[in-house]
Structure 1
Amino acid sequence: MRITALSAALLAGAATLAGCATTTASGPDTAAAVTAAPAAQPAAAPRYGAFGFDAAGMDRSVAPGDDYYAYANGGWAKATPIPADKSNYGLFNVLDDQAREQTRAILEEQKGIAGSKIGTAYATYLDQAAIDAKGLAPIQPWLTKIKTVRDKPGYAALVAEAQRNGVDGPIGTYVGIDDKNPTSYAVNMGQSGLGMPDRDYYLSADAKQVETRAAYLAYLTKLLTLAGEANPAQRAAALLAFETGIARVHWTRTESRDSEKTYNKTSLADLARTAPGFDFARYLQAAGTPVDTLIVAQPSAIAGTAKLIAATPIQVLQDQLIVRSLENFSGSLPSEIDRTVFAFTGTTLAGTPEQEPRWKRAVNFTNRALSDEVSKLYVDRHFPASTKAAADELVKNVIVAFDKRIDKLDWMDPATKVKAKAKLAAFTPKIGYPDQWRDYSSLDIRSGDAFGNALRANHWAYQDNISKLGQPIRKWEWGMTPMTVNAYANFGMVEIVFPAAILQPPFFDPNADPAVNYGGIGAVIGHELSHHFDDQGSKYDLEGRLTTWWTPQDVARFKQRSQAVVAQYSAYEGMPGVKVNGELTLGENIADLAGLTMAYDAYQASLGGKPAPVIEGFTGDQRFHLGWAQLWRRNYRDAELRRRLLTDPHSPSEQRVAVVRNLDPWYAAYDVKPGAQLYLAPKDRISIW
């Protein structure tokens, strides 16, 4: 099961593997006529600027052909500091802050309503003084249980219990759609066990990574000290060595995004034989998923980790679970624990000077614990039916444009085109919010029990996930809340999903010029659509099944074009000395290129053959490309940008904007000539869809 999102998640848990199956509805009719665009100059004022774009944020001293990001966004970038509680800041964050302010108002009202679970959860999390007064007493029974396990079979069961509690161990499982049988669920197993974001943090000789490892060792030492453990420095060093061993056997992120290589259906007997050292049968039994067959994503990593577990002293294994437990529950534990975790994960790893205010984190917690209970109230208050209807029309228009582009492809065989169009017709677009909500009646939320609320919420989410086994696919389920500023494509469900919070300016503004909306949310819609036809999504058929439905010639021609994308982005330097990983970011880069191309076609079709008006001195084509560029206004702290370049499948904002250099209309719009820094000769401009 695969989902791929527009942007790195802004909220923790925004798109977890345990929650990515979603709802179905009738797919749009791709034969339908393109809906006419609204008037070019709407009566009501748009949120940004005179026509939906903040022209004051431009830097017109920069030639658009030399640096389109700076031309469109340079003034904003220079004038906009990163808030002290953020690692990066852009228009995604603006909308995220807005959504959390709106949610806060709802939760503050709910605090005064007797029996309101969301009000109780929010108020209890807010009360740091009460949490501090309890110290480590609430989590102590769990920490004691970790330390009482004395053998490796007992440890396997402990890892399963930790997972129920929301604590990551060295091996992880979840229940998700079976990629090769999308009408059923399966247990999926994947590599885990790293406390830092990626294997390179453990293995790279880069000076910054060496410095980060030293900080991590100090952090592990402090957490073990705060937990009251003896010999913390020595034990921290042993734990770092264990995780370094895990990092050595882990697959890279590029390897792990390959849908075919990570689909390895395996019997439990074969797993025990090929990965000795860990009691998988006992683990799965304790996890509540005693299956005979499961899907293993990274077999060699699982085997390598099992071997390490067998060779590692039990105390080191226990210490890892102690540390992960303190991290995962830090917000519900004493301030010193919370500050220590943030100092490393927030400041060292992401460069963020200050932790977010307690109320923001309380909103985040409540959204995670009782997401649908909050979502119902948010949608009712902040997502009008008119926005949903307008977004539906835009989706239909972009699908029509994509359908027509398939007809014109010179690299795809005619028979494959028929299948591609059938897959496009099978899409389920989901707009705003789910058609059905989860039932939290069995989740016990208690006033004054912040740790218990977090633990029980994790138990509820875990049980909800594993209860899918043997049940019909939950076509109604979403992998993001309506309050999430993001969008995603779910390959197994053949769907594209747009939460309510992203259907706002600058992404979508009913009062903005259509060109800006098509360059904004239109390109986002195209981005998510095209994910289903990118280097991984193209491996799934119209039913969401991982299978081969392209001819070998189609695959070869597509790969030739996609390798040009890899080469183009690999040449970009995201920050001094660190280049973009063109292989890791391939799917997102293809989606940006295809999405913007489709959106442009849909915009042109919406004009009905009439020329677009000039507004504030900008042509329609110029406004379209400015609408795209505006989405990606973002300033990064150095540590955060470095982390993203290593771990994020999305390119940094400047490179995402630079995709315009592959589109012929952009050259015509700005009269970009040879010699400009972004100029590509027509033969070198990449076109896939």
Structure 2
Amino acid sequence: MRLLTTASLFVVSIVYAGPGKNDPKVSKYVDKSNMDLSVKPGDNFYQYVNGNWIKNNPVPASKTRWGSFDVLREESSQRLRTLLDESAKNTGKDRKTQMIGDFYASGMDSAAIEAAGIIGIKADLDRISDIKNLQAALTEVAMLRTMGYSSPIFRFGVQQDRKNVDQYIPQVNQGGTTLPDRDYYLKNDPRSMRIREAYKTYLQQLFSLAGEEPVKAAASADAVMRIETALAKVQYSRVEQRDPYKTYNKFAIKDLNALTPDMNWNNLFVQMKVQAGDSVLVDNPAFLKTADLLLGVLPLNDWKSYLRWSVLKSSAPYLTTPFVEANFKFTQVLSGQKEQTPRWQRIAGLVDASLGEMLGQLYVERYFKPEAKQRMVDLVNNLQTSFEERIKRLDWMSEATKKRGIEKLHAFTKKIAYPDKWKEYEGLNVSRKDFIGNVRRADMWEYNDMINHMGKPVDRTRWGMTPPTINAYYSPVNNEIVFPAAILQSPFFDFGADDAINYGGIGAVIGHEMTHGFDDQGRQYAATGKLEDWWTKEDADKFKTKADQVVNLYNSFTVLDTMHLNGRLTLGENLADLGGLSMAYDAFTKTKQFKENQKIDGFTPAQRFFLSWAQVWRSNTVPETQAQLVLTDPHSPGMYRANGAVMNIDAWYTAFNVQPGDKMFIPKEKRTYIW
């Protein structure tokens, strides 16, 4: 998942290991019954390693995909359920348990939710209906943002300034649409048109459920579609959004006011409770200019419908059964999910998202093994050493750029397991009898916590993921790699497994996050986290040439029907996979297991390393979700993550005797070697 300032592994799905004291007769880490040995490794390595597992593990009805990672996430959910059930029964124990237990209990109290109806959002809907002019509508845009509703028109946040990372700055970005990507509004292929029709139906359903007569609900739905389509037309594509310079446009507030005459940003910032200073960052100035023009030409009633929609779509999953069912029915069209996720699991995920560092404390106390943290530190250090050695050996990079790259590598901050300082959620009130109120108050608390950064020193101790998250990420502005506690557990950390499994799994994960600091986006940030060019032009040109080779390889992969991967959109993750796997293999070659070269269950250490890598990405995905991900996800699907990386690693060819004529074979002189 790529956020505004982070790059994550996203769909981590790992079966891997620890230090390497495995009995050679034990083979539980590579189960041949999961493999399809009728497939040549050089024809489709992913299928060779995972073919029978894929055949025997269809996607459950309540999921949209199912793989190693999803199995682990399911186990993590069950752990959270245990903690939440206990907390709900023991709310008098302490403040932490009280808040977690009451939030969870309120979400599980379906009778109270049904009885409340839409009372939790009625005041907001009525206030919007009473809007009399455009300036009042803009005041509502600001107010809804402070209340935690889905941001109308634009996205707003307070984040680090990419060119001055020791300061926070207000940032205004393109937004205002509901569908997952602008192309859903603009393309006229059958799938996009079907989704738009389903979206119109969903719009009408929610307006009707909120009390509008059918004719009025249809008119409101049309108004929302007109506004969102107009906004989509001027949004940057997902590839354009990956350019940190294109999306860095600093405005003095007076100049931003001149760009958008109907939007007075001095007033908007005050209404959004932000002391803005004298400047603001904008990702897409043309978008804001067009949005401002739309404000002046579209009827006020259209904007009132659009603002009501912001309230309705943000609240639908937390209201009565008709709202929840309408929301899921539309989601089905987008994702192909057959059954609703169980209520307990939805609420558990919501509590994790809302009170993640409180719940994370309970998770760590119950399930985290402290020795895993030290083992992870050792592995990270091993991979860092491997990366440094690889940089020094590069034949395409000058010594000057190598020096700066190594400085950046040494400057990595490593966050492992859980924060040193926990959020206390001071001032947040949770009621056992007010579910939608809890959701809104938690969102408001998070918003206030964010804007309170303004004028304060940058807090580099903060985490972007909660401890129960099975994932990892790299932040370029902090130059940090982060591994939450949930990724540091069995089967992620199985101290009985051999090094081949370990380095092919978590080793490649660590290397993946490190490489994000040097992918097509991350390489543009210096050791301090500042967006700053530290490359010679010649080296940068060579990098771009090599990166284009990776783009072309992934562009050639056909995922679904005639849908090809977008190698430019997925470039950062593909580079991270290739770099991470390469340095993990280098680190593995230093182990005793590799040097002794003894087979386990018929496989050499090198083979087991690559088998472990491919097991990471095994998964089944329903076609609707797969099609959406091809359009929106910066990560390649599992098969192409497994296969694409090894196709450029010489050691894989040697390990499995891949020869010319095999479908995955790339001649050595055409393989891409970057990091």
| TM-score class, shorter | over 0.9
1:314 counterpart residue number:
300
Aligned residue in 2 for 1:5:
8
Tell me which residue corresponds to 1:19: none
**For the residues of structure 2 that align with 1:662 and 1:508, how far apart are their CA atoms?**
28
Correspondence list, 1:163-562, <5 A: 163-168=145-150, 169-230=152-213, 231-291=216-276, 292-345=278-331, 347-562=332-547
Q: Deviations over 1:419-454 (max 9, x none)?
A: 111111111111111111001231000111111111
Alignment deviations for residues 480-511 of structure 1 (CA, whole Å, 9 cap, x no partner):
00111111000111100011112234444222
Residues 156 and 279 in structure 1, CA contact (< 8 A), matched pair in contact too: no
Do 1:51 and 1:513's aligned partners in 2 also have CA atoms closer than 8 Å? no
Q: Is the 8 A contact 1:6 1:488 kept in 2?
A: yes
The answer on whether the counterparts of 2:12 and 2:617 sit within 8 Å (CA) in structure 1 is no
C-alpha deviation, 1:114, in angstroms: 3.3
Give the whole-Å Cα distance in 2 for the aligned partners of 1:466 and 1:9. Answer: 32
Contact kept? 1:573, 1:580, Cα under 8 Å: yes
Of the three residues 661, 664, 667, the one matched with 1:675 is 661
Further displaced range: 287-296 or 569-578: 287-296
Query: What amino acid maps onto 2:22 in structure 1?
Result: Q
Shift of residue 630 of structure 1?
Answer: 0.6
Aligned: 1:650 with 2:653: no
Is the 8 Å Cα contact of residues 52 and 506 (structure 1) preserved in structure 2?
A: no
**One of 71, 75, 78 as aligned partner of 1:94:** 71
The residue aligned with 2:131 is 149
SS in 2 for 1:253: coil
Whichever residue aligns with residue 272 of structure 1, its letter is N
Shift of residue 608, structure 1, vs aligned partner: 8.1
Secondary structure (helix, strand or coil) at the match of 1:329 reads: helix
Contact 1:506 1:630 in 2 (8 A): no
What RMSD, in angstroms, separates the aligned Cα atoms of the two structures?
A: 1.6
Question: Shift of the alpha carbon at 1:340?
Answer: 0.6
The code of the aligned residue for 1:176 comes to: Q
Question: Given that residues 194 and 247 in structure 1 are in contact (C-alpha distance below 8 angstroms), is that contact kept between their aligned partners in structure 2?
Answer: yes
Whether contact under 8 Å (1:580, 1:651) holds in the other structure is: yes
Q: Counterpart in 2 of 1:126?
A: 108
- Give the Cα separation in 2 of the matches to 1:233 and 1:608: 67
- Cα distance in 1 for residues equivalent to 2:492 and 2:313: 35
Q: Is 1:139 the counterpart of 2:121 in the alignment?
A: yes
> Equivalent residue for 2:58?
81
The offset of 1:56, in angstroms, is 2.0
Instruction: Evaluate the alpha carbon distance shift between residue 144 and residue 436 of structure 1 in structure 2; reply closer, same or farther with a 3 A threshold.
Output: same
Within 2, Cα distance between the matches of 1:306 and 1:573?
40
User: Is contact 1:180-1:546 (8 Å) kept?
Assistant: yes
Give SS of 2:573's match: helix
Write the distance in 1 (CA, Å) between the matches of 2:593 and 2:613.
Answer: 22
Contact 2:68 2:618 in 1 (8 A): yes
**More moved, 132-141 vs 106-115:** 106-115
Shift of 1:278: 2.8
Aligned position for 1:630: 615
Counterpart Cα distance in 2 of 1:93 and 1:283: 42
Q: Deviations over 1:293-330 (max 9, x none)?
A: 11111111222222223222222222223223222222
Q: Which amino acid aligns with 1:602?
A: A
Kindly state the Cα deviation for residue 267 of structure 1 after the two structures are TM-superposed.
1.1
User: Structure 1 residues 322, 8: CA separation in 2 closer, same or farther (over 3 Å shift)?
Assistant: farther
CA drift at 1:367:
1.0
Question: Aligned pair in 2 of structure 1 residues 142, 599: CA closer, same or farther (>3 Å)?
Answer: same
Q: State the Cα distance separating 1:39 from its structure 2 match.
A: 3.7
Distance in 2, matches of 1:590 and 1:271, equals: 37
- Listed as ranges, the matches of 1:59-74 within 5 Å are 59-74=36-51
- What residue ranges of structure 1 are gaps of 5+ in the alignment? 11-36
8 Å CA contact retained: 1:156, 1:280: no
Instruction: State the distance in 2 between where 1:72 and 1:319 align.
Output: 52
Deviation at 1:609, TM superposition (A): 7.2
Conservation of the 8 A alpha-carbon contact between 1:41 and 1:51 = no
> Which 5+ residue runs of structure 2 have no aligned equivalent?
93-97
Q: Which stretch shifts more, 637-646 or 146-155?
A: 146-155
- Which stretch shifts more, 276-285 or 595-604? 276-285
- Please say if 1:104 is aligned against 2:107: no
Counterpart among 139, 142, 150 of residue 160 in structure 1: 142
- Counterpart contact for 1:52–1:511, Cα < 8 Å: no
Q: Deviations over 1:186-218 (max 9, x none)?
A: 111111111100001011121111111111111
Hey, what's the Cα distance between the residues in 2 that align with 1:42 and 1:608? 12
Contact 2:20 2:497 in 1 (8 A): no
1:40 Cα offset (Å): 4.7
Query: Whole-Å Cα distance in 1 between the matches of residues 386 and 442 of structure 2?
Result: 43
Shift of 1:474: 1.3
Relative to structure 1, the CA distance from residue 286 to residue 84 in structure 2 (aligned partners, 3 Å threshold; closer, same or farther) is: same
Question: Residue 607 in 1 paired to residue 592 in 2?
Answer: yes
8 Å Cα contact 1:398/1:525 also seen in 2: yes
Displacement of 1:157 in angstroms is 1.6
Distance 1:153 1:54, change over 3 A: farther
Contact 1:326/1:337 (CA < 8 Å) preserved in 2? no
Q: What is the identity, as a one-letter code, of the residue corresponding to 1:607?
A: K
Contact 1:406 1:417 in 2 (8 A): yes
DSSP 3-state at the match of 2:119: coil
Look up the equivalent residue of 1:152 and give its one-letter code.
L
Whether 1:54 and 2:31 are equivalent positions in the alignment is yes
For 1:246 and 1:54, how far apart are their aligned partners in 2? 51
Return the letter of the residue paired with 1:276.
Answer: P
CA deviation string 1:589-615 (max 9, x = no partner): 000000000000010022387233210
Q: CA deviation at 1:235?
A: 2.1
Q: How many residue pairs end up in the alignment?
A: 658
Identity of aligned residues (%): 40
TM-score normalised according to structure 2 size? 0.95
Q: Deviations over 1:544-602 (max 9, x none)?
A: 00011111111100000000011110111111111100110010000000000000001
In structure 1, what is the Cα distance between the partners aligned to 2:419 and 2:362?
A: 13
SS at match of 1:489: strand
Structure-2 separation of matches of 1:501 and 1:303: 44
Give me the whole-angstrom Cα distance separating, in 1, the residues matched to 2:458 and 2:551: 35
- Where 1:512 maps in the other structure, the secondary structure is coil
